[in-house]
Amino acid sequence: MFAEELRRTFTRPRNLVILGLIGLVPILLGVVVKTLGVGHGGGGPPFFGQITDNPVFLVLVALSTMQTFLLPLLIGLVAGDSVAGEASSGSLRYLVAAPAGRVRIIAIKTLVVMLFTLAAVLTIALTGGITGSLLFHVGKIVTLSGSVVSNARGVVLTIEAALTVGVSMFSVVGLGLFVSTLTDTPAAASAVAVGVAIITEILGGIPQLIHVQPILLSTYWSSFTDLMRTPQVWHGVGRDVLESFGWLAVTVIAGAVNFAKKDLLS
């Protein structure tokens, strides 16, 4: 069933459109910078000034611009749809009566959306890398600490950064899945998941809430930039991963418990 679900998710037209959209962002960024230049004054997201130096930086800029909105939106959409979408088409009742096992359904769907998330961030790394090397030159990679690393190391760093961002989205995956077990309306589930993710970003910006911040979804999202130091600083990334998996565990367990006891009336 896992293989079937995985295949279905990665061949579903809507999901392919999502991956396409995600992959398009680094290309757009590259074309804009190529056409209009980086500009002066040092504004923009981290690494924006170095974007023409090496494809690595294009990927990093794409990751940090998408992490705050586009990724949570699209991942929340897919996760929120995972159970509620089947409830609304009526296929859920056939799956449960098949019998597929209620907890097993949640476990498999969680795993598949997690893999989809990782595929999404790796798509950014791939199209960003290709676009960067076609539009700009493959030059020096200067880290935040000022040292220079090799291109091979740069590829590894890009993948590390992408996967870190991917893992940081797992909290959104869990949240979407949980809400998805609460409703038969996929749009509502997606909207709530995305809404909560964005609300935590807003709360994260309020200084008075400093004590709540460690458990907010988005607090450590930008920590992947620490990977670009020499030596790499893993403190924030570690927190990010821990926090994301923590949310994932709590929300998926809540979702599984809710789904295991739920009357399926759809």
Partner 1 sequence: MADGLALASQAILVQGLTKRFGPRAAVDDISLSVPSGSVFGFLGPNGAGKTTTIRMLVGLIFADSGELRLLGEPMPKAGRKVLRRVGSMIEGPGFVPYLSGEDNLRRLLSATGASSRDQKLFARQALDRVGLGPAADRKAKQYSMGMKQRLSLAWALALPRELYILAEPTNGLDPSGMREVREVVASLAQEGSTVFVSSHLLGEVEQICTHVSFMTQGKIVLSESLSELRSHHQRHLEIVTDDGVLAKTLLLELSQDLSVDVGADNVLRVRGLDAGPKDAVINRHLVEGGVEVSSFVSVATSLEDLFVEYVGEGFDVR
Q: Which residues bind partner 1 (CB under 8 A)?
A: 1, 3-5, 8, 12-14, 86, 89-101, 261, 263-265
Using the minimum distance from each CB to partner 1, give the nearer residue, 8 or 137.
Answer: 8
Cis peptide before 99 (omega within 30 of 0): yes
In the complex, minimum distance from the CB of residue 106 to partner 1, in angstroms, rounded to a whole number:
13
Using the minimum distance from each CB to partner 1, give the nearer residue, 4 or 148.
Answer: 4
Q: Is 211 exposed, middle or buried (0-12, 13-18, 19+ CB in 10 A)?
A: exposed
156 Cβ contact partners less than 8 Å away, ≥ 6 residues apart: none
In the complex, minimum distance from the CB of residue 129 to partner 1, in angstroms, rounded to a whole number:
31
**For the CA atoms of 72, 75, 78, 81, what is the dihedral angle to 10 degrees?**
-40
In the complex, minimum distance from the CB of residue 28 to partner 1, in angstroms, rounded to a whole number:
28
Using the minimum distance from each CB to partner 1, give the nearer residue, 93 or 235.
Answer: 93
Helices (H), 98-185: 102-135, 151-168, 170-180
In the complex, minimum distance from the CB of residue 190 to partner 1, in angstroms, rounded to a whole number:
17
In the complex, minimum distance from the CB of residue 255 to partner 1, in angstroms, rounded to a whole number:
17
Q: Are 140 and 154 in contact (CB under 8 A)?
A: no
In the complex, minimum distance from the CB of residue 41 to partner 1, in angstroms, rounded to a whole number:
47
Using the minimum distance from each CB to partner 1, give the nearer residue, 129 or 186.
Answer: 186
Using the minimum distance from each CB to partner 1, give the nearer residue, 31 or 98.
Answer: 98
Using the minimum distance from each CB to partner 1, give the nearer residue, 37 or 99.
Answer: 99
Tell me the C-alpha to C-alpha distance, in Å, between residue 234 and each of 93, 149, 201, 227, 228: 45, 18, 22, 7, 10
Task: Tell me the three state secondary structure of residue 92.
Answer: helix
CB atoms within 10 A of CB 41: 7
The bridge status of strand 141-142 relative to strand 148-149 is antiparallel
